[in-house]
Chain A
Amino acid sequence: MSRWRTASGGRIDRTRALAFRFDGVRYEGLAGDTLASALLANGVHLVGRSFKYHRPRGIVTAGAEEPSALVAVRRDGARETPNLRATQVELYEGLDALSQNRWPSLARDVGRINDWLSPLFPAGFYYKTFMWPKSAWKSVYEPVIRRAAGLGVAPTEPDPDRYAQCYAHCDVLVVGAGPAGLAAALAAADQGARVMICDEQSEFGGSLLADRHATIDGASAAAWVARAVADLAAHPRVVCLTRTTAFGYFPHNLIGLAERLTDHLDAPAPQAARERLWQVRARSVVLATGAVERPLVFPGNDRPGVMLAGAARTYLNRYGVRVGDRVVLVTATDAGYQAAIDLRDAGVAVVGIADLRPTVSGELPAAARAAGIEVTESATVLGTSGNRRVAGITIARTTSAGTGGDRRTLACDAVLMSGGFTPSVHLFSQSRGKLRWSDDHQAFLPDRSAERERSAGACRGATDLAAAIADGLEAGAESAPTRTAAARRITARSPRSADRGYLGAVPLASDASQKSFVDWQHDVTIKDLAIATREGFRSIEHVKRFTTMGMATDQGKTSNLNALAIVARAIDAPIPSVGLTTFRMPYTPTTFGAFAGPSRGDLFDPVRRTPIHAWAAAAGAVFEDVGMWKRARYFPERGEDMHAAVARECRAVRSACGLFDASTLGKIEVVGPGAAEFLERLYVNSWANLGVGRCRYGILCREDGFIYDDGVIARLAADRFHVTTTTGGAPRVLAMMEDYRQTEWPDLEVWLTSTTEQWAVIAVQGPDAREVLRGCVEGIDLDAAALPHMSVAAARICGIEGLVMRVSFSGELGYELNVPADHGLGVWKAVHAAGAAHGITCYGTETMHVLRAEKGYIIVGQDTDGTVTPDDAGLSWAVGRKKPDFVGRRSLQRQSMQAPDRKQLVGLRPRDGRTLLDEGAQVAERPDQRPPMRLVGHVTSSYQSAVLGVPIALAMVAGGRARLGQTLYIPMPGGDVEVEVVSPVFYDPKGERINA
């Protein structure tokens, strides 16, 4: 057994030794240890190098607030978690931990030179020093600074672990299972409430786990905790969660909990989730988050071995570890004395106590004095010594002259500090509750709640054990939905400590040559804060950003109040007027894995596939993402690239027949006596005069007059329309329809149903399309006279009841076969087989785009951008002139919407007949301009036209229709391209083919 381990006591299992490694060196700890307590038990105090100055750093606290002892824990290459607080890492057999921010080794770190050069890096040096040359910031300064300053390194391999997520509801969620939290949970459960209680530690009990003196209900603290935990665990309506951090408080009492399931195990089951994210919606919340002890800000306060008094007491009483052989206590609280007394009882020499307070009385100081420990009142600290661990401390007595008298240096190997207690109001503050400054407590306490929530215990200033428990009982009973049972009573007794504590730097600290640290994790000293105030910063939010104080991963849990007090003193303002920085979630760093949960890889985003997808994949299709849909882009044959495949597919459709999966088209069925009137009011077109069995191209504008969506609408019956939308537009079109139906025109009897996924749509396009379908379609006459362009008929398609729509997005004779989705694949195969004799060719979205562009058909969202009116797109023919109103009509009447110089859709043809324009390229009137250039439009679509043998493009050009024949210039990376403005209809302008 190590000489720093006590012979008995504590909550470790002395029969279970665990081997672990720190920076490759093998040590031994005990089951129940944290990495921090195990290191201390081995006499290891130097555990890391600081962020900016690379100073040797040790373990300051025993909990979540740890600002200093950050380590990486490695299981394998992919499982290396950086920046873990050693105070929260539970020891397991074989644990492999590494120190951070040091090179080549922790003991000999080259970066330490930063500390000697520190006069060069005061607060704000980034903003002032690395200004010139400007280009060097990204290439030189930032990479160098990032490497030198910093914390751990994230692994580069994907996280192989599994993370679970769940939702829960309860009447009362208790956050924190210390004395107040346990009391609250018991009291709420007594009243029949459904209770959840969580605590970030491996076991419930909080401060009671390190308390040797308290008695509760006549038992020791440990015995009472055991009983309370057993009662709660046995209660059918209580859920107890250990190793569970309430990291975020979201609106309406939604609390995020991160439960660590396997990080404490030496060999987690391969399938076990590493963490579980809980989203708890609680009727009421009791925050029993406790308080954290504050360090004292004195010169040399960051040497390894300098730690909080309460932490030393926790290491002793909970983990059976003496943090040194000779300790000095620097304190402004009575609570600090308890640590000194406990350590002395455990055989540690307490060399002296330096108390900042002028006169010290009370139960605990009296006990210390009685034990023969020398107490210096009105004390201050002038500095410490020691290289990788504190070896001495120089204290003095402050005199009325403002100088240090009775200067003495005490040799020691640990310094305990106790500056008072800062209530943990993080979650309360996240809930948007208002804090108030309490002079009595010298702290911000919860004041007005924003949610159905209340704080209990030390987090609202009730630090005395009996008061904390009473507060917890009251909070728990009050939070229960009903109060039926008699109120529970718990009697508690612990040594009284009256602790206002001390805020800010100790007297004379600013005269010292050694640095006095306020924020350990970001290396912020009192000098940095002084610079900030000298620079004129007054608000703590500004000081924080200038110095980075409190901006590290610990969010300044130990540093914020000291910094506030230092700034307040420097600018001679009361603390509340300096303000408090905002607390943000997460309370402690939370893994991305917990947030992501199962939403990774294939499950990251839903994928929509058409009924024909598998067939297309087997046929070698290359797919593209369109919204959530996977669409076949082209079907390459034997070594074809996209260009060759698309050219072949285009030629096939223009010369014979093509087969295209259009199932992704949005489809909405609009039904009811008011259906025609509904569409009349919504779409720009006329619908009343559309005959049953006919189709019409519809345009939907927003109320501002700009095109929102388009698609063919078929009238299946007097009161039934089959509306198609763009592939991506179906949900928003349906939402817009519902909006008008429900809120503007509730008088119309009309029902809207999304049928996108009910129909498979198979487009058969090309001059041979009718011949191909003759063998497939029964019950209707396919001849042009009986089924002309833009008509629809119910038919049996390859034996399946469906709809044949004679529509074309290719400019060729074309049909779209609508069959129930379950039959989509079968019909597709049958049509494909029937078309073999005609050389039927499958084509994808790329060919579809080329074909439609050759015809000047727009794609909403590609050729339009939310500022394009129907007239701009050359579609004014579609607008119902005689209609008194439709959505967008009033806006289209505005003068500016009819201005002749609006951007209008035109076609562009490169004069050289071979240069393919870039989509998105700008359009200029004159060549060879330099920026700022006068630009008159942009290219929206650009393709190589197989049938014409030249590149073509669509563009939106100011006053474009008046420019036909003009020459314009497209600036491209290789120089200006001369283009001729032409009609957007490049192919078959008379539409003879479509009506064939």
Chain B
Amino acid sequence: MLLIPCPHCGERPEIEFTYGGEAHLVRPADPSTLDDAAWADYLYMRTNTKGVHAERWRHARGCGRFFNALRDTTTDQFLGSYRIGEPKPALSMGEPR
């Protein structure tokens, strides 16, 4: 079971969280201006990263808040987490926790 760093509460076990998919996808301000392909891209296309992935989590059974985290998808190690609205931090590869 992963230990997930909630930026509000600290590290908590995975069962307290729900996964929210790729981070930094912003809903278009006016979707009606997008053509079908661009809308499909927003709706369905994801990066499927091998390596460090910025993703959303929600501390659903804790503070209830969404946040973003950087996780290495090859090792499941978290490199850090940050609040919604904060920019994606520059990468600093830490040692395994």
Chain A residues with a Cβ under 8 A of chain B: 250-254, 279, 281, 432, 449-452, 703-704, 735, 738-739, 742-744, 746, 884-885, 889-891, 893-894
The 6 closest A-B pairs by CB, nearest first: A890-B31, A252-B3, A742-B66, A744-B27, A254-B1, A251-B76
Proximity bits, B77-93, A CB within 8 Å = 1, else 0 = 00000001100000000
Cβ-based interface call for B47 (8 A): no
Proximity bits, B42-67, A CB within 8 Å = 1, else 0 = 01000000000000101010001110
Chain B residues near A884 (CB-CB < 8 A): 30, 32
- Most chain A CB within a 10 A radius of its CB, from B36, B56, B96: B96
Closest approach, in angstroms, between the C-beta of B21 and any C-beta of chain A? 10
A450 & B58 in contact (Cβ 8 Å cutoff): no
Chain A residues near B66 (CB-CB < 8 A): 738-739, 742-743
Closest approach, in angstroms, between the C-beta of B15 and any C-beta of chain A? 11
With known contacts A704-B43, A894-B36, A742–B65 Cβ distance under 8 A = yes
Chain B residues near A743 (CB-CB < 8 A): 56, 66, 84
Chain B residues near A746 (CB-CB < 8 A): 84-85
Given A890-B32, A891-B39, 14 further pairs, Cβ under 8 A: A251-B76, A252-B97, A253-B3, A253-B97, A254-B3, A281-B13, A432-B75, A449-B96, A738-B58, A743-B66, A744-B27, A746-B84, A746-B85, A890-B39
Partner among B1, B20, B32 whose Cβ is within 8 Å of the Cβ of A251: B1
A743 to B27, CA, bound (A): 10
Chain A residues near B43 (CB-CB < 8 A): 703-704, 891
Partner among B2, B26, B32 whose Cβ is within 8 Å of the Cβ of A893: B32
Chain A residues near B75 (CB-CB < 8 A): 432, 450
A890 to B56, CA, bound (A): 24
Partner among A251, A281, A739, A890 whose Cβ is within 8 Å of the Cβ of B34: A890
Chain A residues near B13 (CB-CB < 8 A): 254, 281
Proximity bits, B1-27, A CB within 8 Å = 1, else 0 = 111000000000100001010000011
Chain A residues near B31 (CB-CB < 8 A): 885, 889-890
A891 to B30, CA, bound (A): 13
Closest approach, in angstroms, between the C-beta of B51 and any C-beta of chain A? 15
A801 to B72, CA, bound (A): 54
Chain B residues near A253 (CB-CB < 8 A): 3, 97
B30 & A252 in contact (Cβ 8 Å cutoff): no
With known contacts A739-B20, A889-B32, A894-B36, A452–B84 Cβ distance under 8 A = no
A450 to B84, CA, bound (A): 29
Chain B residues near A452 (CB-CB < 8 A): 96-97
Closest approach, in angstroms, between the C-beta of A597 and any C-beta of chain B? 14
Residue of A nearest to B4 (CB): A252
List 11 interface pairs A-B (beta carbons < 8 Å), by A numbering.
A254-B1, A254-B3, A281-B3, A450-B75, A739-B58, A739-B66, A742-B84, A743-B56, A743-B84, A884-B30, A890-B39
Chain A residues near B27 (CB-CB < 8 A): 703, 744
Closest approach, in angstroms, between the C-beta of B75 and any C-beta of chain A? 6
Residue of B nearest to A731 (CB): B60
Closest approach, in angstroms, between the C-beta of A733 and any C-beta of chain B? 14
With known contacts A452-B97, A742-B66, A250–B60 Cβ distance under 8 A = no
- The secondary-structure label for the interface of chain B is loop
Partner among A735, A744, A885 whose Cβ is within 8 Å of the Cβ of B58: A735
Chain B residues near A885 (CB-CB < 8 A): 30-32
B1 & A250 in contact (Cβ 8 Å cutoff): yes
Chain A residues near B85 (CB-CB < 8 A): 746
- Most chain B CB within a 10 A radius of its CB, from A253, A739, A743: A743
Chain A residues near B32 (CB-CB < 8 A): 884-885, 889-890, 893
A451 to B77, CA, bound (A): 9
A451 & B96 in contact (Cβ 8 Å cutoff): yes
A250 to B14, CA, bound (A): 12
Residue of B nearest to A279 (CB): B1
Chain B residues near A744 (CB-CB < 8 A): 26-27
A743 to B60, CA, bound (A): 14
Closest approach, in angstroms, between the C-beta of A230 and any C-beta of chain B? 34
A452 to B96, CA, bound (A): 6
A451 to B75, CA, bound (A): 9
Chain A residues near B2 (CB-CB < 8 A): 251-252
A681 to B39, CA, bound (A): 17
Closest approach, in angstroms, between the C-beta of A746 and any C-beta of chain B? 7
Closest approach, in angstroms, between the C-beta of A880 and any C-beta of chain B? 14
Closest approach, in angstroms, between the C-beta of B85 and any C-beta of chain A? 7
Closest approach, in angstroms, between the C-beta of A967 and any C-beta of chain B? 37
A744 to B66, CA, bound (A): 11
Closest approach, in angstroms, between the C-beta of B32 and any C-beta of chain A? 6
A764 to B66, CA, bound (A): 40
A704 to B30, CA, bound (A): 15
Closest approach, in angstroms, between the C-beta of A227 and any C-beta of chain B? 35
Closest approach, in angstroms, between the C-beta of B67 and any C-beta of chain A? 9
A42 to B31, CA, bound (A): 83
Closest approach, in angstroms, between the C-beta of A165 and any C-beta of chain B? 14
Residue of A nearest to B95 (CB): A452
Closest approach, in angstroms, between the C-beta of B35 and any C-beta of chain A? 10
Chain A residues near B60 (CB-CB < 8 A): 735
Closest approach, in angstroms, between the C-beta of A738 and any C-beta of chain B? 7
A251 to B77, CA, bound (A): 9
A850 to B66, CA, bound (A): 41
Chain A residues near B64 (CB-CB < 8 A): 738
- Most chain A CB within a 10 A radius of its CB, from B3, B13, B31, B66: B31
Closest approach, in angstroms, between the C-beta of A885 and any C-beta of chain B? 6
Residue of B nearest to A738 (CB): B64
A449 to B30, CA, bound (A): 48
A196 to B70, CA, bound (A): 31
A735 & B97 in contact (Cβ 8 Å cutoff): no
Residue of A nearest to B11 (CB): A252
A735 to B60, CA, bound (A): 8
A738 to B60, CA, bound (A): 10
Closest approach, in angstroms, between the C-beta of B73 and any C-beta of chain A? 13
Closest approach, in angstroms, between the C-beta of B52 and any C-beta of chain A? 16
Residue of A nearest to B20 (CB): A739
Chain A residues near B3 (CB-CB < 8 A): 251-254, 281
Chain B residues near A704 (CB-CB < 8 A): 43
A250 to B2, CA, bound (A): 8
With known contacts A735-B60, A890-B31, A890-B39, A450–B1 Cβ distance under 8 A = no
Residue of B nearest to A745 (CB): B27
A703 to B60, CA, bound (A): 21
Residue of B nearest to A681 (CB): B27
Chain A residues near B20 (CB-CB < 8 A): 739
A369 to B10, CA, bound (A): 65
Chain A residues near B58 (CB-CB < 8 A): 735, 738-739
Residue of A nearest to B76 (CB): A251
A221 to B80, CA, bound (A): 47
A884 to B31, CA, bound (A): 9
Closest approach, in angstroms, between the C-beta of B46 and any C-beta of chain A? 14
Chain B residues near A739 (CB-CB < 8 A): 20, 58, 66
B1 & A735 in contact (Cβ 8 Å cutoff): no
Residue of A nearest to B78 (CB): A252
A450 to B66, CA, bound (A): 28
Residue of A nearest to B85 (CB): A746
Closest approach, in angstroms, between the C-beta of B28 and any C-beta of chain A? 8
Residue of B nearest to A703 (CB): B43
A890 to B13, CA, bound (A): 37
Chain B residues near A735 (CB-CB < 8 A): 18, 58, 60
A252 & B1 in contact (Cβ 8 Å cutoff): yes
Closest approach, in angstroms, between the C-beta of A899 and any C-beta of chain B? 14
Closest approach, in angstroms, between the C-beta of B77 and any C-beta of chain A? 8
A432 to B75, CA, bound (A): 8
A452 to B75, CA, bound (A): 13
Closest approach, in angstroms, between the C-beta of B87 and any C-beta of chain A? 15
A744 to B24, CA, bound (A): 10
A740 to B39, CA, bound (A): 18
A251 to B73, CA, bound (A): 13
